[in-house]
Structure 1
Amino acid sequence: WRAALRPGTRVAFLETMSNPTLEVIDVAAVAELAHAAGATLVADNVFPTPVFQRCLPLGADVVVYSATKHIDGQGRCLGGVVLGRREFIRGPLETFLKHTGGALSPFNAWVMLKGLETLDLRCRAQAATAQALAERLEGHPALSRVIYPGLPSHPQAALAARQMETGGTMLAIELAGGKPAAFRFLDALELILISNNLGDAKSLVTHPATTTHQRLTAEQRAALGIGDGLVRLSMGLEDPEDLFADISHALAAAISGK
């Protein structure tokens, strides 16, 4: 970040937790660097959710959410949220939205507001499941790694503990057998649904190398740590034991090749 910022930099943008490798960014440190360069820091805080991490107190100037994810929480509507100081929201942002039409319909806004009523309860239950499953899956013979910010093995575990309330609702696993094993795993799942969405009440899974990040070259994906065996999981509200049984069954299928 220090090397990338220039005196003329106007805006710095980050995902507070990267998709899909769950790298945690030190928001306060980046905010200090951005402000020293005269830049506005925009933070995409979707993965940690507003329940587990507040970015404005950490120094971000603008915080954005895909409300399609945890805020809706049931895969019903598309929407987004932009947060910031009143002078920014009622000034340049409101003017931009009025002139471009980038605003929610009343119905979608109502759905999102209803979703906010249960956001805290849903996210806490989902995060507890993600933590429990990550702990139980770590060291599985079919996996080369389990990525979850709440695990001591996570490279930014100390930062996550300082900056976030929990490790969040997302985890990633990398199957040692690469893409063939990952596809066998996905095909064998019965309870967890294949979808590029996340933050839903239902548990969801996706293969980033062939979906969300398929437009990147193999070299670019490798540089980002997105291997062909990497699978991203968004934990839902199902019984954790049922989810563990589903994942265990699918991992056994990935190992056996059947």
Structure 2
Amino acid sequence: MRLYPHRILLILLAAALVVWCAVSLRWDWLPKYLPLIAEGIWRTVWILVVTAVLGFLLAIPLGLAQAAGPWVLAAPARAFCTVIRGTPLLLQLWLLYYGLGSLFPQYPWIRGSELWPYLRQAWPYAVLALTLSFAGYEGEVMRGAFRSVPRGQLEAAKAMGMPRLTILRRIWLPQAIQRALPTLGGETVLQLKATPLVATITVVDIYAVAGRVRQDTFIVYEPLLLLAVVYMLITGVLVLGFRWLEQRRPAKVA
């Protein structure tokens, strides 16, 4: 990468800002809360990875059903994506945690099951809400990606006697994923920015840790600044990772 004058200026300004923050602001609280911060970062990354992977796996059949499925499959898939995209994620999260979560204790067979120790916690509802949200948005992306694959390739494979499952696995799905990669990267970054909502149902992620530091020390600016740096670093890793994937598998133009 060439260092143009404006890039050098931006680097110098960023370095000066970092030095000013390190010297002028209060960071004496950091060693005490460092283990909690590390745990919060781990939980944020864990929630992001799990919900993005599960959501994408769910988005594939949702997109495929809308692109080529019969009406009995396409209509529910379209309705699911419409509801998810048309309602706020915070509302979905609260409906699952305060709505569905409050129903489970009323059934003795649920309280006596092996799942009850998990269902009484907050993180399963956070994972479920973020997974469904990611699937709803990415399902629409995959619908467009499936339809963008040239039909001639699929017809040629069918004419050669290739089974439908093989066509999907070797031709249709790989090209659809390749076409969806740029949008998938953007949706994953948005998913990261949505993870702070889990703090509203008592899941201790990095955002909740910053809030706890503010409550304990009455220091406001420094925890928020550290929070911004953490999210920017994770976002940078995501962007670089998806760019690497796009360059490793260049899109084929028919």
Q: Which has the higher strand share?
A: 1
Q: Which has the higher helix share?
A: 2
TM-score by shorter chain over 0.5: no
TM-score of the two chains, using structure 2 as the length reference = 0.20
Tell me which of the two structures has the higher relative contact order, counting C-alpha pairs closer than 8 angstroms and 6 or more residues apart. 2
TM-score of the two chains, using structure 1 as the length reference = 0.20
